[in-house]
């Protein structure tokens, strides 16, 4: 360091060889330090990522099967495998339960968990804020406003979609309304976030917008009949059980579309790690990316909220779990890991909600909060300079 402090005076400058008379660019010597350290590091990172992703897949399969086995009645593994592999029912009632109740519920849990987690990851990267997720930013509240408006306006009882009687058209209407409601809240939040660089201001704005919208929804619902109110509250608890094969025809393609877009935007998401200014300087159309990500996150969170209720904490917690396990912020591994871990966490939450079997089911929202809150606290405690530091 000391040697560098000595400024070479002008007579040291040799114009032919450049300033510091260092090696010529064309003949960079093969420096052992770089060429040994980097491949070793890449290999160890690959190993870790492979292990994490492989383990996640294994656990996901196990949890998926477990989620089908357990419920109000336990179903033996044999029947589950039989039902899943398409054997004829042969009078076994378990086959029917698996095919018409447990399987769609498990698929819904996977899709919802993956969707909310990926939406959370997108929001965290886009806003460069570790606490951003669809719930905190008010997307979920906006989506429930959309749901409430459609349900009230159409004269259908609130929560009609809970009783599987809404049909495909109604399903898309509610999902569309939920997505628009989510965008309605997200757009001003993102507009604020591009103007104000302070992340805590943005989060507070999102939270307040969410509260205001929730209050408005409460006012709307206050006029509902008691039975409607009861269903509304049940919807508010969150549940994967209300989704049947009919609703899955809406949920599955919408979530699949969102996840495909998320996978295709791995490169721009990585560029956004450096912030919008750098991302633009590297060739990213940040405005289009912002709009696309906003729309996709709203759609993912909107469809899940419409069909499963407002489920919190998955969106904020799962990306952090993925980052901690992978020890990487690279979206190339983060996006698939978030999808897998999101599905896995949702299945586990579903299983946990079944635990007090005599008392019925725990509200899913409470379970995800119990899983998610410690993760958020961990994130806050781990960051040395506070989560809002740069």
Partner 1 sequence: MSRLLETRDLTVGYRSRGQTRAVLRDINVQVAPGELICLLGVNGIGKSTLMRTLARMEPALAGSVEINGTDITRMSQYDLARHVAVVLTERVAIGSMPAFKLVELGRYPHVGWSGTLSGADREIVRDAIVAVGAEDLAHREITELSDGERQRIMIARALAQRPAVLLLDEPAAFLDVSARVEMIATLRKLAREQNVAVVLSSHDLELSLRMADTIWLIDGAGRLHIGAPEDLLADGSIAATFSGPNIAFSAGDRTFKIRNHRHGRAFVDGEGEGVGLARTVMEREGFEIIHAPEGAHVTVTVAASGWSAGGRKGQGLGTSFAELARFAREEAGATIPMEIQS
Among 28, 175, 26, 47, which Cα is nearest to 111's?
175
Closest CA to 238 of 175, 298, 284, 306: 306
Pull the structure tokens for residue 107.
Answer: 């698929």
Q: Which of 327, 357, 370, 374 binds partner 1 (CB under 8 A)?
A: 327
Q: From residue 221, how far is each of 147, 207, 229 by CA, in Å?
A: 11, 21, 7
Q: Of 39 and 76, which has the nearer Cβ to partner 1?
A: 39
Answer yes or no whether residue 332 interacts with partner 1 by CB under 8 A: yes
Is 363 one of the binding residues for partner 1 (CB under 8 A)? no
Asked whether the beta carbons of 185 and 213 are under 8 A apart, the reply is yes
Backbone angles phi, psi at 2, to 5 degrees: -65, -40
191 binds partner 1 (CB under 8 A): no
Q: Is 59 exposed, middle or buried (0-12, 13-18, 19+ CB in 10 A)?
A: middle
Q: Is 323 in the site for partner 1 (CB under 8 A)?
A: yes
Residue 111 three-state SS: helix
Question: Binding of partner 1 at residue 225 (CB under 8 A)?
Answer: no
Distances in Å between the Cα of 171 and the Cα atoms of 174, 255, 303 are 5, 14, 9
- When asked if residue 48 is in the footprint of partner 1 (CB under 8 A), the reply is no
Stretch that binds partner 1, among 24-32, 57-65, 292-300, 369-377 (CB under 8 A): 24-32
280 binds partner 1 (CB under 8 A): yes
Pick the closer one to partner 1 by CB: 1 or 222: 1
Nearer to partner 1, 208 or 264 (CB): 264
Is residue 196 involved in binding partner 1 (CB under 8 A)?
no
Contact 290, 126 (CB under 8 A): yes
| Least spacing, CB of residue 386 vs partner 1, in Å | 11
Show the binding pattern over residues 124-163: x = contacts partner 1 (CB under 8 A), - = does not.
----x-----------------------------------
Contact 314, 336 (CB under 8 A): no
Q: How far is the CB of 31 from partner 1 (least distance, A)?
A: 5
Residues lying near partner 1 in the complex (CB under 8 A) are found at: 1-2, 4-5, 7, 18-20, 22, 24-25, 28, 31, 33-35, 37-38, 41, 45, 128, 264, 266-267, 270-271, 273-275, 277-278, 280-285, 323, 327-330, 332, 389-390
């Amino acid at each position: 360091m000391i040697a560098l402090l000595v400024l070479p005076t002008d007579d040291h400058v040799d114009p032919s060889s450049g300033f510091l008379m260092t090696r010529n660019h064309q003949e960079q010597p093969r420096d052992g330090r770089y060429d040994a350290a980097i491949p070793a590091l890449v290999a160890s990172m690959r190993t870790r990522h492979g292990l994490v992703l492989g383990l996640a897949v294994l656990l996901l399969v196990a949890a998926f099967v477990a989620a089908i086995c357990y419920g109000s009645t336990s179903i033996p593994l044999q029947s589950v495998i039989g039902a899943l592999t398409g054997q004829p029912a042969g009078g076994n009632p378990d086959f029917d339960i698996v095919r018409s109740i447990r399987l769609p519920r498990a698929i819904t849990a996977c899709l919802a968990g993956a969707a909310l987690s990926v939406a959370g990851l997108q929001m965290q990267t886009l806003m460069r804020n570790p606490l951003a997720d669809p719930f905190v930013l008010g997307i979920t509240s906006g989506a429930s406003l959309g749901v409430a408006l459609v349900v009230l306006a159409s004269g259908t009882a609130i929560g009609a979609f809970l009783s599987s009687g809404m049909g495909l058209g109604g399903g898309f209407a509610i999902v569309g309304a939920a997505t628009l409601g989510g965008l309605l809240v997200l757009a001003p939040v993102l507009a604020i976030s591009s103007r104000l660089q302070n992340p805590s201001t943005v989060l507070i704005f999102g939270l307040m917008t969410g509260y205001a919208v929730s209050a408005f929804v409460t006012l709307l619902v206050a006029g509902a009949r008691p039975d409607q109110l009861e269903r509304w509250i049940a919807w508010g608890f969150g549940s994967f059980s209300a989704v049947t094969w009919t609703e899955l025809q809406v949920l599955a393609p919408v979530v699949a579309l969102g996840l495909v877009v998320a996978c295709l935007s791995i490169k721009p998401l990585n560029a956004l790690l450096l912030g919008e200014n750098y991302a633009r300087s590297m060739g990213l159309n940040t405005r289009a990316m912002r709009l696309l990500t906003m729309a996709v996150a709203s759609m993912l969170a909107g469809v899940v909220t419409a069909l499963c209720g407002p489920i919190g904490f998955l969106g904020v917690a799962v990306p952090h779990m993925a980052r901690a396990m992978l020890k990487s912020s690279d979206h190339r591994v983060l996006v698939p890991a978030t999808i897998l871990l999101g599905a896995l966490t949702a299945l586990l939450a579903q299983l946990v909600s079944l635990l007090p079997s005599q008392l019925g089911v725990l509200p899913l929202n409470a379970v995800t909060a119990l899983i998610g809150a410690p993760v958020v606290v961990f994130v806050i405690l781990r960051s040395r300079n506070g989560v809002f530091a740069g």
